[in-house]
Amino acid sequence: MNQITQMETTGQNDLVSYLKDHMTARIVGQERFVDRLLLALFADGHVLLEGAPGLAKTKAVNALASTIDCDARRIQFTPDLLPSDLTGTDIYRPEEGTFAFQRGPLFHNLILADEINRAPAKVQSALLEAMAERQVTVGGTTYQLPDLFMVMATQNPIEQEGTYPLPEAQLDRFLLHVNIDYPSVDAEREILKIVRGEVAGDAPAPARMIATAEILAARKQAMTVYASDALTEYLIQIIQATRHPKVYGEDLAEMIAYGASPRATIALDRCARVHAWMRGAAFATPSDVQAVLHDVLRHRVILSYEAEADGKTPDSFIDALIERVPVA
């Protein structure tokens, strides 16, 4: 029995449970973070991870990569990084008198873009094509990226020196923008025990490596989750509310400068259905939409200057949408 047949026979959630158990055994106190990484993986999108240093962002990404039979590469973004450092470049071979393309790290399956906001605009532009079109262009020639291609980018929200804000066009290419919070008291107590050697901290190696074909098959399976007309209308009205917030209150209209693009509608629908699939449901519900709404929208709505000055955040605006947009 091949791996894809095995996955279909044993149930759609076996793969999710296997990956989640493997990652939570290595990452203490970040269950929601792990869940969002898997959501992005099965929804075929890129994820922007934002949190203070020391919250296991890099470790979680490495734990995911260590479970899948694919190529993974970590790229440390720095101000002196060049576009060719990502895409690769044409190398002249004097013995043959020809140029040969030397592929860069973007041709791997899982890309950890560490501190992505430290790279200048030219590098961001090179990454934008890869994220949006799943291809790179070098010397007038376009090269396709692998079918399994996922960028997991990290950025530090508290350090601004030597950073370049990500342009809105690139932010929109991230399926999710996940804020990573500090672990709970109990989780932090467990971390200390592991560091002190009071409890075992080495999780066993994966029982088996997940084949790329399994991930691709799971993505197709997740897209079979049913979304009713009523649910479709509900998520569309939420997106419309980001563009025409005055319908739901003058205070919302004063908070927002620009609403979400149609790409947000597609992302919200996709993530809601994958969220339902991950919990074993055959159809998506409004609770699935609400569960992923903050991560889908927080980087796609732009607050007004007045709202930012008053200390408002995209999350507070999204909270208001959940309260005021009626469920269809």
Span(s) in the chain for CATH 1.10.8.80? 223-324
Tokens of 82: 């060049």
| Domain 3-218 fold | Rossmann fold (3.40.50)
**Cβ-based neighbours of 11, under 8 Å, separated by 6 or more:** none
* The pair of three-digit structure tokens given for residue 302, joined into one six-digit string: 């732009």
Residues of the chain with CATH 3.40.50.300: 3-218
Fold of 223-324: Helicase, Ruva Protein; domain 3 (1.10.8)
Cβ contacts of residue 311 below 8 Å, gap of 6+?
Answer: none
Euclidean distance between CA atoms 97 and 142, whole angstroms: 22
Q: What does the longest C-alpha to C-alpha distance in the chain come to?
A: 71
Report CA Rg, the chain. 21
Question: What pLDDT, on a 0 to 100 scale, did the predictor assign at position 117?
Answer: 86
What separation, in Å, do the N-terminal and C-terminal C-alpha atoms of the chain show? 44
Which residues of the chain fall short of a pLDDT of 70? 1-12, 158-162, 200-203
Phi then psi dihedrals of residue 154, to 5 deg:
-120, 150
Residue 42's closest CA among 77, 75, 7?
Answer: 7
Give pLDDT tens digits for 227-249: 999 999 999 999 999 999 999 99
Percent of all residues in the chain with a pLDDT value above 90, rounded to a whole number:
51
The predicted-structure confidence for 246-298, as pLDDT tens digits, reads as follows 999 999 999 999 999 999 999 999 999 999 999 999 999 999 999 999 999 99
Q: Is 27 helix (H, G, I), strand (E, B) or coil?
A: coil
pLDDT of residue 304: 92
